[in-house]
């Protein structure tokens, strides 16, 4: 087959090439590498990395524990703040979070490898099946969690630790959310997402019900009627349209579907890819789709982003990664029209853009990029369903600082709320903090009320 045959085909590469291409992007540090990396940490006071972490992991402490030969204790330090610390170690854009503010950058332009050290420690705990938490005595309270993604799992875990019984309603076949369906294959090899789900659920007291979708199979009011509290952590199910003519042609694909298909494919050779692929978008999803299209054997992969490099949501690291895999990133180009031949995608007409009076505007100059497959990666949207009168803000669920929604006893977190950054680690923080808020509410309810004069 090879990389040069036109059209969308599976099996472009030899089996060993698939194996190489989709192996671990950053293999786990071995013991010696971890010690050397850990030795670089200065054990800063009130460390900037810790402040930059959305889950506030005590990074200097966990690194010091690694350096003193206690990776298990290190893992506990991580999990205390972030029970999904294993996946976050793999997918966090550390270069814009903890590692960006590492003081080593100032002197050496090279931060401590916090992400890889975190993975080292959490891998030890998960591989040795070491567990750190026990459920408190059962409280008799039941809490519904909608969505078994990072926010929902983090919330469910903390609630279970507190002794509550948790039921997680998950629309898809497997738990994990974007960790299972939305992460590039080479960032979470060896079915790590499911291993992590199993690790989290082993606390007990959490029942995951798959195949049940809010708005289709039940409503929010069903939950509020039957549970003491509800946490909504649905994520985003809608995909933004290109707004370009011909975008429904065969060969125009949602990048998130492509990424999910690839993740679920036991044999990557079964996933078809075009010879020439164009990805529209400038975020992590665009990069993940583009890089993986290239790794599947596409001859030519081009990302078209309608603004400049500085505005791309994809981190510098991700952009460099794409470039290193041979992906061409082009800026200041917007899609105009998908061009068809014989009822199938043959190319895309794009228009140059520029900022005019602070507004992105097409210049009128157009060109055609040949393509037999086009990925749409220009953002996802929240599709509210079954939420009744729940208040929204900017198209997502409105919450207060504790994660409370406009409806009593209903909390929300993760991508379905407006938070600014759609990051796994932010979702974990929101799920965790909502659980704390729910705990406080339930604990207060258990106390006799005190009249205040």
Partner 1 sequence: MADLRNNFVGIKSPNPFWLASAPPTDKAYNVERAFKAGWGGVVWKTLGEEGPPVVNVNGPRYGAIWGADRRLLGLNNIELITDRDLYTNLREMKQVKMNWPDRALIASIMVPCEEESWKAILPLVEETGADGIELNFGCPHGMSERGMGAAVGQVPEYIEMVVRWCKQYTRMPVITKLTPNITDIRKPARAAKAGGTDAVSLINTINSIVSVDLDNFAPNPTVGGKGTHGGYCGPAVKPIALNMVAEIARDPETYGLPISGIGGITTWRDAAEFLALGAGNVQVCTAAMTYGFKIVQEMISGLSDWMDSKGHRSLDDICGRAVPNVTDWQYLNLNYIAKAHIDQDACIKCGRCHIACEDTSHQAITQFVDGVRHFEVMEDECVGCNLCVNVCPVENCITMVGLEPGTLDQRTGKVVDPNYANWTTHPNNPAARQAAE
For partner 1, the closer CB: 120 or 382: 120
Binding status of residue 68 toward partner 1 by CB under 8 A: no
Burial class (CB in 10 A: 0-12, 13-18, 19+), 267: exposed
Contact 308, 334 (CB under 8 A): no
Binding status of residue 43 toward partner 1 by CB under 8 A: yes
Binding status of residue 47 toward partner 1 by CB under 8 A: yes
Minimal distance, residue 207 CB to partner 1, in Å = 42
Question: Rounded to an integer, what distance in angstroms lies between the CA atom of residue 9 and that of residue 272?
Answer: 4
Stretch that binds partner 1, among 42-50, 193-201, 365-373, 435-443 (CB under 8 A): 42-50
Binding status of residue 104 toward partner 1 by CB under 8 A: yes
Minimal distance, residue 39 CB to partner 1, in Å = 4
Binding status of residue 100 toward partner 1 by CB under 8 A: no
For partner 1, the closer CB: 51 or 270: 51
Question: Rounded to an integer, what distance in angstroms lies between the CA atom of residue 381 and that of residue 256?
Answer: 12
Query: Segment 415-434, which members bind partner 1 (CB under 8 A)?
Result: none
- Name the CA dihedral angle for 276, 278, 283, 289, rounded to a multiple of 10 degrees: -40
Query: 287 φ, ψ to 5°?
Result: -65, -45
Query: Segment 126-165, which members bind partner 1 (CB under 8 A)?
Result: none
Question: Rounded to an integer, what distance in angstroms lies between the CA atom of residue 425 and that of residue 150?
Answer: 8
Q: Pick one of 16, 30, 106, 453: the residue that binds partner 1 (CB under 8 A).
A: 106
For partner 1, the closer CB: 103 or 419: 103
Contact 295, 22 (CB under 8 A): yes
Written as six digits, the tokens of 177 are 């959310």
Binding status of residue 48 toward partner 1 by CB under 8 A: yes
SS3 content of the chain, % helix, strand, coil (to 5): 40, 20, 40
Binding status of residue 107 toward partner 1 by CB under 8 A: yes
For partner 1, the closer CB: 43 or 131: 43
Minimal distance, residue 67 CB to partner 1, in Å = 8
Cβ-based neighbour number of residue 202 at 10 Å: 12
Query: Segment 200-219, which members bind partner 1 (CB under 8 A)?
Result: none
Q: 120: closest CA among 158, 70, 154?
A: 70
Number of residues in contact with partner 1, rule: CB under 8 A? 14
For partner 1, the closer CB: 38 or 145: 38
Helix (H) or strand (E) holding 288: helix 284-295
Question: Rounded to an integer, what distance in angstroms lies between the CA atom of residue 369 and that of residue 206?
Answer: 50
Minimal distance, residue 124 CB to partner 1, in Å = 19
Q: Pick one of 6, 42, 207, 270: the residue that binds partner 1 (CB under 8 A).
A: 42
Written as six digits, the tokens of 109 are 């332009």
Minimal distance, residue 35 CB to partner 1, in Å = 8
Distances (CA, A) of 322 to 149, 211, 289, 383, 453: 26, 35, 10, 30, 65
Stretch that binds partner 1, among 98-106, 155-163, 369-377, 423-431 (CB under 8 A): 98-106
Minimal distance, residue 89 CB to partner 1, in Å = 23
| Residues paired with residue 142 on neighbouring β-strands, in sequence order | 165
Contact 287, 302 (CB under 8 A): no
Query: Segment 10-39, which members bind partner 1 (CB under 8 A)?
Result: 35-36, 39
Interacting residues toward partner 1 by CB under 8 A? 35-36, 39, 42-48, 103-104, 106-107
């Amino acid at each position: 087959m090879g990389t040069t045959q036109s059209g969308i085909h599976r099996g472009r590469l030899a089996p060993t090439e698939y194996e190489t291409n989709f192996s671990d992007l950053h293999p786990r540090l071995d013991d010696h590498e971890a010690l050397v990396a850990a030795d670089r940490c200065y054990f800063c006071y009130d460390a900037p990395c810790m402040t930059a972490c959305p889950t506030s992991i005590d990074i200097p402490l966990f690194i010091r524990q690694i350096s003193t030969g206690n990776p298990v204790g290190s893992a506990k330090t991580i999990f205390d703040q972030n029970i999904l610390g294993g996946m976050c170690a793999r997918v966090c854009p550390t270069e814009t979070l903890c590692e960006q503010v590492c003081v080593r950058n100032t002197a050496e332009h090279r931060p401590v490898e916090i992400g890889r050290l975190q993975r080292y420690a959490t891998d030890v705990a998960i591989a040795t099946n070491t567990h750190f938490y026990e459920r408190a005595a059962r409280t008799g309270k039941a809490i519904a969690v909608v969505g078994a993604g990072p926010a929902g799992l983090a919330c469910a875990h903390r609630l279970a630790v507190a002794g509550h019984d948790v039921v997680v309603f998950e629309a898809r076949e497997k738990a994990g959310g974007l960790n299972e369906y939305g992460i590039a294959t080479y960032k979470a090899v060896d079915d790590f997402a499911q291993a992590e789900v199993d690790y989290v659920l082993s606390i007990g007291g959490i029942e995951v019900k798959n195949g049940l979708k809010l708005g289709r199979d039940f409503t929010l009011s069903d939950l509020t009627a039957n549970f003491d509290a509800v946490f909504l952590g649905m994520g985003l199910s809608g995909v933004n349209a290109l707004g370009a003519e011909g975008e429904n042609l065969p060969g125009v694909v949602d990048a998130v579907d492509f990424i999910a298909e690839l993740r679920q494919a036991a044999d990557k050779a079964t996933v078809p890819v075009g010879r020439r692929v164009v990805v529209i978008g400038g975020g992590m999803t665009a990069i993940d789709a583009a890089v993986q299209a290239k790794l599947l054997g596409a001859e030519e992969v081009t990302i078209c982003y309608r603004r400049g490099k500085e505005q791309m949501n994809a981190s510098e690291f991700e952009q460099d990664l794409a470039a290193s895999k041979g992906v061409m990133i082009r800026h200041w180009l917007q899609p105009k029209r998908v061009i068809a031949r014989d009822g199938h995608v043959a190319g895309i007409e794009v228009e140059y853009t520029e900022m005019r009076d602070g507004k992105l505007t097409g210049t009128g100059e157009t060109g055609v990029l040949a393509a037999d497959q086009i990925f749409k990666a220009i953002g996802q949207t929240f599709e509210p369903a079954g939420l009744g009168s729940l208040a929204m803000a900017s198209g997502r669920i409105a919450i207060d600082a504790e994660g409370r929604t406009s409806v009593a006893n209903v909390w929300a977190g993760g991508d379905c709320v407006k938070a600014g950054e759609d990051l796994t680690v932010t979702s974990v923080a929101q799920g965790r903090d909502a659980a704390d808020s729910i705990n406080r509410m339930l604990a207060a309810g258990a106390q006799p009320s005190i009249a205040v004069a």
